[in-house]
Amino acid sequence: MAKVLMKGCEAIGEAAVRAGCRNFFGYPITPQTEVPEYLAKRFPEVGGEFVQAESEVASINMLYGGAGVGKRVLTTSSSPGISLMAEGLSYIAACELPIVFVNIVRAGPGLGGILPAQSDYHQATRGIGHGDFKIIVLAPSSVQEAVDLIIEAFDLADYWRNPVMVMGDGMIGQMMEPVEFPEMVNISKLPKKEWAADGCKGRSPNIINSLYLQAEKLNEHNWKLKAKYDEIEKRERRSETWGADDDMDVLVVAYGTMARIVKTALSEFRAAGGRAGLFRPISLWPFPHRELLAAGRKAKRILGVEMSTGQIMDDIRLSVGLNKKVDFFGKTGGVVPTPDDVLEQLHALTPPPKAKAKKKGRSK
């Protein structure tokens, strides 16, 4: 299929269509309103159903219903809207229902601003709701990867019967890039969901429920979930390294569009003789702890870069332990660090040879 030039938000919408999603429930919020806008037009062409709900609280409960009857369902929102879904997400995860949702993160906390940020990392990877549950979190760094991960998200959701969040930011939603879409999934050939409450003629009813009045039953259920999460941690870690050679001075850890900016900075840094590379988690949960530990061993120090005040640092520390030198650089509130900002940090940590030489020269 030929490539088309497309805005990130619209490409996300189209990817959901290709994945066989025909049910969207959501409420508009900047900077992701282009996704529902696109689907409101696109769904009718493919027999899909688009519902603008009364609120995010309503939306997430509609996803609960849609997923419960076996549909591939989607919502998209941005930070404050995601917070309003906290209770519903816990219900959905408890019931092991597959849903896909997109958080085009905006600057927080509170109303904050509408510019890009990555400051929902903690919420996404831990504690987005009450109780012992986990959601899979995927962080694309290009429009094409957003398309690929949306499609994969629907498969992961169905396979693991678990919510999957694709976490982007305003940049990825608004930038235009050439993308290639796969063929439309043949919905009728998707694996049958034997557990769905989709009518029980000729079989015993399926029950979708998160209430367990007997503690022992709920304990059992929670450990069954935990075993699933352990399995996901084993099998679904995704990451990428770039320029992560042996004997680096610095390994930068960054994800999403931030990682692209870091690559630009690293290219320049390396061109100037610097020894530094990138470790990019693609799945934020499960976090690629082992992969980062391995990559980290090859570097003298680690620099986390995030559009936040440092939420990813817990996971970096949990990967590499207390003995590795670890620093953080971030901006927040919608300010996007530039390649020069990152370069400056790299220089501060470990001046590249030429820079050292220059400095020497200067010091004469």
Distance CA 356, CA 272 (A): 11
Handedness of CA 16, 253, 78, 333 (dihedral sign): negative
Distance CA 125, CA 278 (A): 21
Angle, CA 164 vertex, CA 296 and CA 128 arms, to 5° = 80
Distance CA 92, CA 9 (A): 25
Residue 126 or residue 356: which is nearer to its own copies going by CB? 126
Distance CA 277, CA 252 (A): 6
> How near is the Cβ of 1 to its own copies at its closest, in Å?
26
Residue 19 or residue 117: which is nearer to its own copies going by CB? 117
Handedness of CA 253, 259, 262, 264 (dihedral sign): positive
How many CB atoms within 10 Å of residue 233? Answer: 17
For the chain, the straight-line distance linking the first and the last C-alpha, in angstroms and rounded, comes to 61
> How near is the Cβ of 236 to its own copies at its closest, in Å?
18
> How near is the Cβ of 166 to its own copies at its closest, in Å?
16
Residue 57 or residue 196: which is nearer to its own copies going by CB? 57
Residue 55 or residue 235: which is nearer to its own copies going by CB? 55
> How near is the Cβ of 111 to its own copies at its closest, in Å?
4
Query: DSSP state, 241?
Result: E
* ω into 281 cis (within 30 of 0): no
> How near is the Cβ of 22 to its own copies at its closest, in Å?
10
Tokens 């088309």 sit on residue: 4
Query: Taking a C-beta distance cutoff of 8 angstroms, is the pair 79, 101 a contact?
Result: no
Residue 93 or residue 259: which is nearer to its own copies going by CB? 93
Residue 268 or residue 344: which is nearer to its own copies going by CB? 344
> How near is the Cβ of 326 to its own copies at its closest, in Å?
12
> How near is the Cβ of 117 to its own copies at its closest, in Å?
8
Residue 128 or residue 146: which is nearer to its own copies going by CB? 128
Residue 125 or residue 350: which is nearer to its own copies going by CB? 125
> How near is the Cβ of 277 to its own copies at its closest, in Å?
22
Residues in the chain: 364
Q: Dihedrals φ, ψ of 226, to 5°?
A: -60, -40
- Residues 6 or more apart whose CB falls under 8 angstroms from that of 60 comprise 25, 75, 84, 85, 87, 88, 89, 92
What the block records as the tokens of 162 is 């678990």
> How near is the Cβ of 334 to its own copies at its closest, in Å?
3
Strand pairing category for 73-77 and 100-105: parallel
- Residues 6 or more apart whose CB falls under 8 angstroms from that of 1 comprise 180, 181, 182, 183
Residue 131 or residue 182: which is nearer to its own copies going by CB? 131
